[in-house]
Chain A
Amino acid sequence: MALDKPYNDIPGTTIFDADQSRLGYHLNQFCMSLMKAENRARFKADERAYLDEWPMTEEQKLAVLARDLNRCIAAGGNIYFLAKIGATDSKSFQQMAGSMTGMTEEEYRDMMIKGGRSIEGNRYLGEDGDAQPHRQPQGKAGQKGGN
């Protein structure tokens, strides 16, 4: 029997369940390795060579090289693991979270200061909130008509 996934109807959200965890095992374990200072240095010196030491998929490696966290999550990454890449790049959780919305750092920070993203329209897929698929990317990137 397949896993029951009642959470698949929430917009803009990936739940890190056993399937995602299996998919992302080596990606996430690569991220864990960055908790050691010497590994961070080796990764920074030659990212591709360091990634090639891990049995990750090509898509996972490209997503890491592009620092595209949405792609990393689709490939099985979990934000607490991916945060180790952000730490290596000296990025905060706010910069990392914001990068997944399409907003600029400033736009995302302003949204948070104004009370954060509203829940209205963002509970179920098919509503019209700003996290819904038809409204991506957000912020100035979205207004340009997407590029």
Chain B
Amino acid sequence: MLVVEKVLAEDILRISGVNTRKCMKCGKCSASCPAFNEMDIHPHQFVSMIERGDIKKLIKSKSIWNCLSCMACVERCPKNVEPAKLIEAVRLAVIRQQGANHLKADKIPALVDERLPQQAIVSAFRKYSK
């Protein structure tokens, strides 16, 4: 594991508050996930990869942009691992870097239509930008 990866892994564990060792690898989180088909790495894999410190692939993963924060994985995990918090922490590790915002304000006008509620824009900025 690279030193940067080690620091990142520690950060991710700390800010998520997740104890990856509670996971019994049942896969229920991924089975519950409504974004499963849009993910290259699935929620249960986040848990084991973060435990191993395998962070580089997670940072590049499209899963961090496709998680819906629906909390199904959190609700249904029999061990209360809360995998969504790990996905959130990886996403934050990316967008907290300078210039690494995933959603930029100049992209918004093209995405907005007459009916889109403010709530959509506010939440997308919270998820994809710092």
- Decide whether A and B assemble into one complex: no
